[in-house]
Structure 1
Amino acid sequence: MFNSITKRSFRFNLAVVVGLFLFIGVLFFLLLGVITKHGDTLIVPDVYRKNVQEATQILEKAGFNVDVRDSIYIDSLAALAVWEQTPAKGSEVKVGRTIYLTVNKVVPPMVKMPELVGLTFRSAEMTLHSLRLNVGDTIYKPDFATNTVLQQLLNGKSVKPGRDIPEGSNITLVLSSGTGSMENPAPNLIGLTFAEAKEALSASNLNLGTVIVDPGVTDTANAYVIKQDPMRKNNLNELQMVRAGESIDLWLFPTKPTPATDSTTPPAQPE
């Protein structure tokens, strides 16, 4: 065979080689569509909010490969549910294309609780959203600083700034509704314990102002109120009026003032 090839002219052999390559090239391009499944396309099904296992089964059954690419935490979405798919639902893609999924985390990440007290409602809302926290209930309480945050609560309890809480938590905001329009006589708190005085203030929709504690006090809750400002009556023995949301300052002493005072008599105060 080698001798027969060598006996032929160089041009003939070159023409045979070129023809052979042309034949292989034409055959390759004819078979390329079959090899690459050119023209075989599928529509990507919708697996949004489906569990990742169910979504994988649906996609693989439809002729796609599946890869979980990323995870995110959405508090309103079930754990391991699909949040995003790429290519998107309804896209026309080739058979065997890989569909990348982003799924919801099982355990929410933790974030630091911010300090919201003193902020306006709008500022507090923006701060919470920036940390992927939600505004829960809003409770209004009389106070002079209208529409500012007085307290921040989680599950009904006060939550301190800097505490780690789950992302997506609902934070209840206690907001100031401003002072009331109606005036009422200042309550008489003289002779009450500090704990009793705070309850009386709360019942009257009044706030606790400055608290001055005598050095001899060892138990603040059971210390006695010996002075308040404003008093129930002024020096002219006239009732002093306060509005809901205003504050009353208290002076605390370790023993109950004597003689015991009523709502009309100013107490005897220690020097």
Structure 2
Amino acid sequence: MLKSLFNWKVLLNLVVAIGVFVGLVWLTFRWLEYHTNHGQEIPVPNIVNKSVQEAIKILDDSGLDYEVDSFKYDPKYRPFQVLQVYPAPGSRVKDGRAIQLKVNPRTWARVEVPDVINKYSGLAFQRLEQVGLKVGDTIFEPSIQKDAVLRILYKGTAVKPKTKLPRFSVVDVVIGSGPLRNITIPNVVGLTVKEARAVIARSMFEVGLVEHEDGSKDESDIIYYQDPAAGDVRDQGMQMDLWASKRTPAELRAKIEELNSIYRMKVDTALPPIQYQEMPVQEPAYEAPPPVAAPKRESPKPSTDVQKTDAQKSSVKPSSGTESAKPKTTGTSTSGNTASANKPAATTQKTAEKPKAKKIVVE
């Protein structure tokens, strides 16, 4: 078997195979060098701070492609000025390589106006500032939507939500200041429904119920009745109900009288006026209360029987004979006859005052 391996035919085939393999590898690398321009590199020119027109011209002359991308706007640099280059200047790239240019745009990027219509003004201001818009003048306009945003103005023109404006643009905001008071109701009888709507809108009222006589919704029908009546005073934003027909108001007298009986209150002036009389005011009579008797003053109660005996002896005058000394009452007088006449009363008083025997009044 070893002898067969060293046969010249086998060795020849092996040498041919190795030569073919080496040749294919060499041809492959040569093709890659030719296709990729190996060894033919071009340095990236320094085009930073140049205008985009100058940078494109330099790249075309160098045989390089380019891709331009707008960078974040920076007011410190000129519009359309090249701020960044990738690959960096001085790098060596192949012929035809695309160079990316970051260019300062002409102005700020555009932003969408947020939908803040009919929203509270405080929240609307915050939302506008978040997207990059500045609020300039605040204009107040009579409206039933108090403190709500009615319109957004840009350079005096109303803009709708989602309109794109340059970033940091100044916008004016129209805010409702509340309804006006005591506005006269306009007369729309005899006008078409379309004309009446315009008149009511100009008078800052709203159209309420519109009832057509034939049940249609024809805007050319003529108004023959309205509520509230023309000349009445209402606040802004109140609704006006309308009745329309293809006939004229003169042909609908009966219908108008029927509506008047419902929506118009008549005051009968034939009745005599009501007279009001005032009742006389009588002061209440007060009776004087009966006099209250003054309380009797009582002498201090003697502490002992000894003191009582000594007081009787010192204050009562002794009488003649063997008669015992009796204390006199306070009602006795100096006359003897008067004292004898008052004895029965004194006796009765003593009997009534029997429970108070210890109490003695000395003259």
TM range (shorter): 0.3 to 0.5
Q: Considering fraction of residues, name the structure with more strand.
A: 1
The higher radius of gyration belongs to: 2
Highest relative contact order (Cα 8 Å, sep 6+), 1 or 2?
1
Q: Considering fraction of residues, name the structure with more helix.
A: 2
- TM-score, normalization by structure 1: 0.46
- TM-score, normalization by structure 2: 0.36
